Amino acid sequence: MTHAKSLLLTILAACAFGSMAQAQSARSTAAAPPKDLTGLAVATFAGGCFWSVEETFEELRGVRAAVSGYAGGSVKSPSYEQVSGEATGHAEAVQVYYDPKQISYQKLLNVFFLGAHDPTTLNRQGPDAGPQYRSVAFYRTPQEKQLIEATIKQVNASKHYAQPVVTQVTAFTQFWPAEDYHQGYYRLHLRDNPYLQHVSVPKVEKFRKAFPGELKASNVL
């Protein structure tokens, strides 16, 4: 591959690639937090660019909504530009609102570690590099922490990946929803964003094949 072609692929394969004006002109209600949280539980994960991670959890039966945002940092209400500048300590994250009667926290962990991203790459997911793309499983209770740690041990023991899991196990503190144009981005720009086509779509399709029995009826292959 020539240097020019390699550079072009790098430019196309960036989570921030796309028309900002075009993105801001579109809105999605699919990724909005539920107004009524009665009977719902909440989980937060970071696994690289949130566009595909949000879509992955959104497709799970029992998930009411998945919202893109920022977690794990020290700055209040950070912007995408601030997080991308690596100065806030945040990771691109997804907050998942789910019905525990339909899907368990353990199932969410299975999807996160085996279908939503590669948990073995440090501060990187595919072409996206930097601490904002690190893998993090945020826990809200001691029980969730135990489940996360047990799942990591199981994944490592299974040799599912050639390298060990490097996912951070971190106490949840605060989640800041990302700007409107990031919400539901995968579905809104699937046809016009090269990054989605070349990077995100293969991830989502891999997840669908790995968890066919967990998909909402509208997402079944």
| CATH assignment at residue 41 | 3.30.1060.10
In a domain, 14, yes or no: no
Q: Which amino acid is at 180?
A: D
Q: Tokens standing for 170?
A: 């971190």
pLDDT band at 212 (very low <50, low <70, confident <90, very high): very high
In a domain, 27, yes or no: no
Report the distance separating Cα 175 and Cα 202, nearest Å: 27
In a domain, 21, yes or no: no
DSSP 64-129: EEEEEEEES-SSSS--HHHHHTT-S--EEEEEEEE-TTTS-HHHHHHHIIIIIS-TTSTTEETTEE
User: Whole domain around residue 183: which residue ranges?
Assistant: 33-203
User: What pLDDT score was predicted for residue 218?
Assistant: 75
Q: Report, in this order, helix, strand and coil percent for the chain, each rounded to 5.
A: 40, 20, 40
Domain count, the chain: 1
Q: What is the mean pLDDT of residues 100-118?
A: 98
In a domain, 186, yes or no: yes
Report the distance separating Cα 124 and Cα 132, nearest Å: 8
In a domain, 28, yes or no: no
In a domain, 96, yes or no: yes
Query: Between residues 198 and 26, which one has the greater pLDDT?
Result: 198
CB atoms within 10 A of CB 20: 11
In a domain, 171, yes or no: yes
User: What pLDDT score was predicted for residue 37?
Assistant: 82
Report the distance separating Cα 213 and Cα 35, nearest Å: 28
Statement: the pTM of the whole predicted model exceeds 0.85? yes
Please check the confidence at residue 101 and state whether its pLDDT lies above 50: yes
- Dihedral angle sign, alpha carbons of residues 158, 164, 170, 174: negative
Please check the confidence at residue 52 and state whether its pLDDT lies above 50: yes
Question: Alpha helix locations (H) across 112-180?
Answer: 142-158
Close Cβ partners of 98 (under 8 Å, ≥ 6 residues apart): 40, 41, 42, 43, 60, 62, 63, 64, 108
In a domain, 210, yes or no: no
DSSP 43-59: EEEEESSHHHHHHHHHT
What is the longest distance spanned by two Cα atoms in the chain?
Answer: 55
pLDDT over 90, % of the chain: 80
Q: What is the mean pLDDT of residues 97-123?
A: 98
Number of Cα atoms under 13 Å in the Cβ half of residue 193: 24
Give the residue numbers marked as catalytic.
Answer: 49
Q: Tokens standing for 69?
A: 């945002």
